[in-house]
Structure 1
Amino acid sequence: MTRIFVYGTLKKGQPNYYRMFDGANGKAQFLASALTAERYPLVIASKHNIPFLLNIPGQGRRVHGEIYEVDDEMLRFLDDFEGVPTLYQRTLVKLEVKARGAEGEEKEEAPGSITEAFVYSTTVYQPDWPSLPHYDNYDAYGDHGLEYATREARD
């Protein structure tokens, strides 16, 4: 099992959340809500208004998201869905646990503790992306006015 930190469209209440629990993709178990221990620029970019966590530690804001434990099948699905290695790369980051889910009760994710998980971040981006507005908590339906274009809508 691998731990993944999601901060964008795969979070609860977001357009791609259903993919985390589609059995055809593998298995995922919610462990905890968390935020990055370091600051990163989380921007909304491209003509599809996709959330990107730029792999520039120390800039931006501490980013809120969710930690999941996924099996190898789900990890392969997520790597493909996120366009690894061309669009995103899987990067290990330190996270501060905010609140654990019921599934995390038997794990060591106590609120306030520091843990690690992989995050899908990018080192390949347009030169102006670091100067875009930075967010600490992505919401596809937020007041930023940047409507996320689902994959189905792009076709």
Structure 2
Amino acid sequence: MTRVFVYGTLKKGQPNNCRMEDNGTVKLLARAQTVDPYPLVIATDDNIPFMLNLPGKGQQVRGEIYEVDDNLLKFLDVFESCPELYQRTLVQLEVEEWAGEDEDKLKTGSIVESFVYTTTTYKPEWLQYPTYENYDTYGDHGLKYVCREDR
């Protein structure tokens, strides 16, 4: 099992969360935020959330840590166009709320490592876009994500 931090459309309540359960074994472990700030921007005509691999810029990004099996990890690599568009990057996360049922429960404030899908492929103007600490497709930014099926 591998830990994956999701910050965008794969989170609970977001348009692609169902893809997590439909393609392998998944378990929500915790809500967390990145230790380092990163730019989380909404870009392209499809309003896709991107976490740019520029640690130290932007804001601490909030999301969810999941434990996924190899089948789901392979699916996520394809879904996230890894390694062409996104890369799987190890980041440090601070646990905000543990959701797992394991005996090895991590306390609030604990630091853990997890993979996250970041991108180094972006247009220079994205660096001028607003950054977000918490993505929600239905947020007041007015940039609702366009699902692949609707493109």
What interval of TM-score do these two structures reach, taking the shorter chain for normalisation?
over 0.9
Percentage of identical aligned residues: 62
CA RMSD in angstroms, aligned pairs only: 0.8
Within the candidate set 125, 132, 135, 1:135 is matched to 132
Cross-structure match for 1:114 = 111
- Shift, 1:131, TM fit: 1.1
| 1:76-155 equivalent positions in 2, closer than 5 A | 76-103=74-101, 105-154=102-151
SS at match of 2:65: strand
CA distance in 2, matches of 1:33, 1:147: 23
SS in structure 2 at match of 1:128? helix
Counterpart of 2:11 in structure 1 is 11
Q: In structure 2, how many angstroms separate the alpha carbons of the residues matched to 1:56 and 1:136?
A: 14
2:30–2:98 Cα contact (<8 Å) kept: yes
> CA offsets, 1:15-38, max 9 Å, x none?
00111111xx11111000000000
Number of matched residues? 151
Query: What stretches of structure 1 move > 3 A for 4+ residues in a row?
Result: none
**TM-score in terms of structure 2 length:** 0.98
Letter in 1 for 2:62: H
Distance 1:102 1:6 in 2: 16
The one-letter code matched in structure 2 to 1:81 is F
Gaps of 5+ in 1: none
1:79-122, Cα deviation, whole Å (9 max, x unpaired)? 0000001110000000000001143x423422110000000000
- TM-superposed deviation, 1:147: 1.6
